[in-house]
Amino acid sequence: MSTKLNEERAREQLLDLAAEFYDQFESGQIPEMTLPTRTKSNIEYDPDSGVWVYGDRTSTRSANSVRGARKLLKAVYTIEFLAEQLEEDRSSTLRELYYLSESWDNEEAQFSDQDESNQLIEDLEIVSEVTREDFHMRPEESGATLMGPLELREQTRRGEREIHCQKDVGEGGYQIPNNPDTIEFLDADIDFVLCVETGGMRDRLIENGFDEQYNCLVVHLKGQPARATRRITKRLHDELDLPVLVFCDGDPWSYRIYGSVAYGSIKSAHLSEYLATPAARYVGIQPTDIVEYDLPTDPLADSDINALESELTDPRFQTDYWEEQIELQLDIEKKAEQQSLAANGLDFVTETYLPDRLGDMGVL
Amino acid sequence: MTSFQAELGAEEGIAEELAASQREISIAEFFEKNKHMLGFDSGARGLVTAVKEAVDNALDATEEAGIRPDIYVEITEVGDYYRVVVEDNGPGITKDQVPKIFGKLLYGSRFHAREQNRGQQGIGISAAVLYSQLTSGKPAKITSRTKEADQAEYFELIIDTDTNEPEIQDAEPTTWDRTHGTRIELEMEANMRARQQLHQYIKNTAVVNPHARIELREPGLDEPLKFERGTEELPAETSEIRPHPHGVELGTLIKMVAATDSYSVSGFLQEEFTRVGQKTADKVCDAFRDRHFGRELAWPTPATGIDVSGAVTEAVSNKGADATDRFAGEIESKLRGRDRTAHSQLREIIDDIADEIEDDTGRTFGSTVREHALDAAWSELTAFESDESTNGEGQARDHLTPGLYGLVDDATSTRKDDETVEALAERLARRADGLDDPAFRVTRDELESMVRGAAEATIEYDDVTLGDTAQENITDALWSTARTVPDEVPKISAIEGDRDTASELLEAMRATDILSPPTDCLSPITADLVEAGLRKEYDADFFAAATRDAEVHGGDPFIVEAGIAYGGELGGDGKIDLLRYANRVPLVYQQGACGSTDVVKNIGWRNYGLDQPGGSGLPNGPAVVMVHVASTNVPFTSESKDAIANIPEIEDEVELAIREAARELKSYLNKRRSLEKRQEKQSVLSQILPEMADKVAEVTDRERPDIDPAMGRIMNNLCIEREIDGDTVTLSVENYSDRAETPDITEIVSAEPDAVEADDASVVDLGDEWYIQWSPSVSAGGETALTYTVGSDTEFDITVDDVETEKLTLNA
């Protein structure tokens, strides 16, 4: 996969979009841009790809209203910026784009907050069918890491690097680049991929040598995973045919982390096919684990309860497994962190919990 | 406490002593004590009230004579005093009338008349005369000239405060430049601190009297304040009506009874009241009978255990077997054919049958026979024997209880068991029997207490519940089956001296449904003239007015009108201005105490597009709200006539009238806001879109695209708006785009248009409709106006072709 080609295509697509506005003006039409509606109610399961994508409902950004006209003006300014950036082979962060707009000569085109610029980039992704990465836009920090028996080659700005993700890296592991499509997998001796939500648990697994013991690639999600993390997870599954497992806290927010790894997120459902790993499975902490292992817990806050109830109506969680787990949790009104397993000793997670769970799931 | 009684013997002449200290209160003293009630509580206010009373009088006088009022008010400083001069062009007054009109408190043609007039009590102008006399010691100076007179008359008038009698001190012919009219000059202790209220009064008077020309001069004005006529039309003449039966008080009724020439109540009612004819009078008389005599309870004929015919036969003697049999038989069969029969009805039945048999047989059934038969049949029908009276032999007969059972059963809820109903019916029967009147006459009150007694006993002894509603239902059921008695209603002469009977008559009048009073005694300003009045005095952008249909409160008809002016030169900060009027007289004091103010405060003005902090209270904004209550008797909170009392019927109408006008305000404001939004949108978009086009051209490396078609499409660029000013209709065509437009405009009007301007306009006459057609060429960014004149009340229908609908904003 040549990234050069991708960039060329990205630039063309952006210019095409500008040309479309031009043509609309020329023919006396009101310039507009149609996008799928990005809400929970407009995502649907695509049985072909096994991921959740946007449904048929669309919304239109049209110059017919003052709001719409402002949005389109900003879009055109952003297109110009991105096209130039691609031409010069440079990249910038989403936050930089927001601040950069301050330098534009037209005040109407400047963003009022970063949500607006982030959303506009997502709009442009959808309309041009090009990913943000190909626009050379990256998030502020990714910092997510890999650790395990994997050898890869990364195309960096300073030349190619071949790296073994266990032997060539420190305890921190291999840092996933913003555009993981610049990586080529060379060799792997991996039995499964374990995505871990929290840094504390990831460090525990590494310290206990879990990756070496079980030939496991530990991916640190760092909370809600960045696109790069999800992308590389999908590639690991698709290209190396590895089972993917997700290990999180036992609360509604962690289920959403799992959801975005496995099914795709609502905000980036247009990229689900590119980012989601439908085969990923949830290890824990499950509400049933809280009961079974009698883990130390915290009571559910009101926001937790709302989130759980919202998940019950989320099309992505409408499976028997999730309904049972979520309803159990609403019933016991408790949540537990990954580290609560330490209540049974520091080695409990690597010696008992994970081997048990992975055994149950047929991975070990 | 000291007892005068005990000391009577000891000290003589206490009564005389007390009597000596009692003396007649002079009118001046009365005035002094009550001047706040009459609107003269301070020098500042006294001046306004004096002007107000004189102007009200002047307007009434001119209107009554069918003259368009031309009123001149002048206030000048005279040493320590102020001189008020009010002149009108009315019919003038003769020397005989002068003292009565200006000099005597409580003299006036209006106190007794049911007709809408500005003044009602006849206190006003004479109070002003008295106030002037008491404060300055100067007489009132009156000049008047009647239409026919060669010369004007000049009078000086004072009021004798001991006798309340006016005295003309000086009378002489004089010259006057008016051909007819009246001028009054009063000097009084006063000040101009209430200048604002004075101006407000004059201005507000001009608003509701667009047919009047008013001029005010006062020391603080460099230029006289002039209010020109807005219409030549005089208000509709009002006619006087007699009082309505629902609108009189007991005292008034007693006075009317004493004064009438009628002998009968029916005649009295028809003669003295409005809306009472023979039928209504009969209805009132029946209601009066019910109250005066009570009704007779009516009883059903039992199916068994009764032998009317036997009883009658026994009571009749010497009439021959055939006639007696027929007499008795017919009475019985007649009774059996009836649902219920009252005593007086039975008497009528017996009379009818007896007359018939007399005619057929020639035998005489005298009154004694008839009376015996009546007694016999009635005691049979209403037999009620106690167990003791039968001495244990045979069954005690009780025809009353079954007669009541059905009524009681129907009137109480189904949950009452049979025994309770039976017990209650029996107790009622015993009480009916105990009335000690064979005819069972009861008044409604007596019936009520009868039912209450029976119910209470039933509650106590049978341990059941019988609420007030149940008791009321039973009373209603009994009362409605009872019969109005045929007795003659008392004569007027009997009512005259009897307060209780008069009160019964009054109740009967109030209880009877009577048509609302006629409304030709009212003269509303009418919605059109309300609007014209506001237009004349306020330079606003929008006007609306509404006149309600007449309603009645306490026998007095009233009409409520409301008007709203909005925007333009009206001040936008703070509360709206509320103008209150009663019978065309502005109310300038005590706004907070006025019923109409309460109504305005309770309306949710946010619904109508005005800012109202907290959702209640007077709204904010550049608006004037006007309320006019016209009535033969406006209920004021006090004699000074500053505030309308809180009467629910009137408040409801005030609210409806204001809401009617406010709805128009709302649609106007909505329209205006959408226009404003449109303008804002236009100004923002006309900045953004060119910039966007420039950028798109830059990015795609092409020429700047032509955005005007897109812009035009967004802005619906051609605007056609109708403005109507009097008879002149203007269609303004504004082309916001930078492309020339040639719209085809066709206007269909329901009256013949005139003075159609524009070169290529054509008018087609289709009989009852006229087509006017234009196709103006409007250059880019240009505008053009199409005008013509047409009578008012014309209907318009406009169509525009040759312009894409997307590019057209039709506001016509």
User: What's the pLDDT tens digit per position in B20-58?
Assistant: 665 555 666 777 777 777 778 788 888 888 898 889 888
Q: Are B496 and B356 in contact (CB under 8 A)?
A: no
What is the distance between the alpha carbons of residues B302 and B339, in angstroms, rounded to a whole number?
Answer: 10
Mean pLDDT, residues A60-64? 82
SS3 B181: strand
Nearest to A64 among B697, B700, B714 (CB): B714
Q: What is the DSSP letter of A316?
A: G
Token readout for B157 is 């008038």
Over the stretch A66-83, which tens digit does the pLDDT of each residue have? 888 888 899 999 999 988
- Interface contacts (A, B; CB < 8 Å): 75
Over the stretch B271-318, which tens digit does the pLDDT of each residue have? 888 888 999 999 999 999 999 999 999 998 888 778 888 888 888 877
pLDDT at B785: 86
Q: Do B685 and A30 touch (CB under 8 A)?
A: no
What is the distance between the alpha carbons of residues B642 and B650, in angstroms, rounded to a whole number?
Answer: 16
What is the distance between the alpha carbons of residues A117 and A93, in angstroms, rounded to a whole number?
Answer: 11
pLDDT at B13: 64
pLDDT at A274: 85
Q: Name A232's bridge partners.
A: none
pLDDT at B1: 42
Closest CA to A278 of A268, A264, A289, A290: A264
Q: Name B547's bridge partners.
A: B561
Q: Which residues of B touch A73 (CB under 8 A)?
A: 688, 691-692, 695
Q: Do B702 and A106 touch (CB under 8 A)?
A: no
Q: Name B341's bridge partners.
A: B299
- Phi and psi at residue B568, in whole multiples of 5°? 65, -130
Residue from A22, A45, A77, A99 carrying the catalytic annotation: A99
What DSSP string describes A60-113?
EEETTSHHHHHHHHHHHHHHHHHHHHHHTT--EEHHHHHHHGGGSS-GGGS-SS
Over the stretch A245-266, which tens digit does the pLDDT of each residue have? 999 999 999 998 998 898 888 8
Q: Are A108 and B691 in contact (CB under 8 A)?
A: yes
Cα–Cα distances in angstroms (integers) from residue A104 to residues A61, A112, A246, B14, in the given order: 22, 13, 43, 107
Give the torsion through C-alpha atoms of B40, B46, B48, B51, to 10 deg.
100
Q: What is the DSSP letter of B93?
A: -
For B805, other C-beta atoms within 10 Å of its C-beta total: 10
Q: Which residues of B touch A28 (CB under 8 A)?
A: 709-710, 713
Q: Do B692 and A73 touch (CB under 8 A)?
A: yes
SS3 B81: strand
Q: What percent of chain A has pLDDT over 70?
A: 98
Min Cα–Cα distance to chain A from B538, Å = 37
End-to-end CA distance of chain A: 34
Q: Is the pLDDT of residue A146 over 50?
A: yes
Tell me if residue A99 is catalytic: yes
pLDDT at B61: 85
Q: Are A332 and A287 in contact (CB under 8 A)?
A: yes
SS3 B388: helix
What is the distance between the alpha carbons of residues B146 and B153, in angstroms, rounded to a whole number?
Answer: 9
Mean pLDDT, residues A346-360? 90
CB neighbours of B426 closer than 8 A, spacing ≥ 6?
Answer: B398, B401
Q: Do A83 and B699 touch (CB under 8 A)?
A: yes
pLDDT at B412: 79
Q: Do B696 and A25 touch (CB under 8 A)?
A: yes
Min Cα–Cα distance to chain B from A87, Å = 13
Nearest to B691 among A26, A31, A108 (CB): A108
Token readout for A156 is 């960096």
CB < 8 Å & 24+ apart, contacts of A260-263 = A260/A224, A260/A225, A260/A230, A261/A195, A261/A221, A261/A225, A261/A230, A261/A233, A263/A51, A263/A52, A263/A316
Cα–Cα distances in angstroms (integers) from residue B130 to residues B30, B57, B104, B111, B139, in the given order: 11, 16, 9, 20, 9
**pLDDT under 70 in chain B at which residues?**
1-28, 103-123, 386-395, 414-415, 712, 716, 736-738, 758-759, 805-807, 811-812
